[in-house]
Amino acid sequence: MSVCPRVFPRLAAILLVAPLTMLLSPGLATANDPLRCEMHKASEKLRDYFTGRRIQEISVGEVTNGDPTTPSTAGPGIRPLLIEELGRAELKVKHKADVGLAVTYRGRKVPSKNDRKVERIVIEMRFTASFTLENSQEDILTYRIEDEEAICIILGQTVVYTPPGKESAQQGVLAFDKPKTHFDGTVVLAKENDLYGVEILIDNKPLKPENEDGFSFVKMQRDQTYAVRLINRSSIEVAVRLSIDGLNVFVFSELRQKEGPFVGAPLYDMFLVPPQESVTIKGWHRNNTTTNQFKITDYADTAAAKMNKATDLGTITATFCAAWEKTPPKDEENGSRAVGDGGTGVGPPITQNYTVVQRIVGRVRASVAVRYRIPPPPK
């Protein structure tokens, strides 16, 4: 049985930001972070290939968006997870090896499994191996990602999902083909008059977003620190996963899983937002009392660069899922479910207190993405 099933609903421990910020952690037996889960499964397939060729050491290059028509920022987040999961699959990743692995990804439309007349969006990842001794190169694996939340994070999509089915698939295709952005003042919403939204703050003041080709953009200056306000206007609790430049905000957390198949992975990966309320996330989680502020920096100092060199920067993505203690919401069913030349770095530590709570987490209901642009460095 896979240790990465991504079934819904699922039990998780969540962080609550003081006085109302709560954190969720994945269970020790599974990985709930959708990108980690997908990289775990891809790594197992890569292990099988390399084991068959008696290869135990590889190097990993950049993970890049293979479709320039769609601005995506997930490369910095995918690469470190891939390296970690290759290690779990007992492949040693070195800075230099006789075999190198290059990875590209792109979103594409494919027929739905149950109705081939209905299209859905998937991510195709192409793994290409370079063999130094043989002076050759070979495409060794095409891995398909079908998880809706993982797709939203990778593509930086703004979309509302209904329960899985024909309409949900069509919403994903529409967000891919004809992206739209919706504002309520300074709040970016998943759709017009929607219940879930995001605001970007500088000095506790919200920035005014702009619509560019259906994408939400905000302008920020170098060396500014900013915060992200997660807004829940619904009547239920929601668990929110927040990614900056493709990196989960818990990527630098000192609190790690100590047992189970994902030893060393972050202990938490979601925030809880109570009904009709909002919480403000000020930076990268370090522990339950300390946060490193989100800071706009030159690329070399960005969080993405610290997680290994990559070039896709510029998107803040929040995915919203229903959360509950005992009784699920009535509409919660069982079942499955690159812009600019700077980026977000790790700023100075500040105090931000969190409380851990346990909730059951359901399917992804909405994703809100905000792209950011900063001016070029002075000459």
Q: Is residue 339 part of a domain?
A: yes
Position with higher pLDDT, 107 vs 375: 107
Q: Is residue 159 part of a domain?
A: yes
Q: Which domain holds residue 356?
A: 10-373
Q: Is residue 23 part of a domain?
A: yes
Using one digit for the tens of pLDDT, what is the confidence trace for 225-255?
Answer: 999 999 999 999 999 999 987 789 998 999 9
The identity of residue 200, as a single letter, is: I
State residue 166's pLDDT score.
61
Share of the chain above pLDDT 70, in %: 80
State residue 298's pLDDT score.
54
Q: Is residue 4 part of a domain?
A: no
Position with higher pLDDT, 353 vs 244: 244
Q: Is residue 3 part of a domain?
A: no
Position with higher pLDDT, 192 vs 314: 192
Q: Is residue 171 part of a domain?
A: yes
State residue 161's pLDDT score.
86
First to last CA, the chain: 56
State residue 373's pLDDT score.
76
Using one digit for the tens of pLDDT, what is the confidence trace for 301-344?
Answer: 555 555 443 433 689 999 999 999 888 898 886 543 333 344 55
User: Within 10 A of 365 (CB to CB), how many other CB atoms are there?
Assistant: 27
Residue 134, pLDDT > 80, answer: yes
User: Cα–Cα distance between 373 and 368 in angstroms, integer?
Assistant: 17
Using one digit for the tens of pLDDT, what is the confidence trace for 140-154?
Answer: 999 999 999 999 999
The domain tally of the chain equals 1
Residue 364, pLDDT > 70, answer: yes
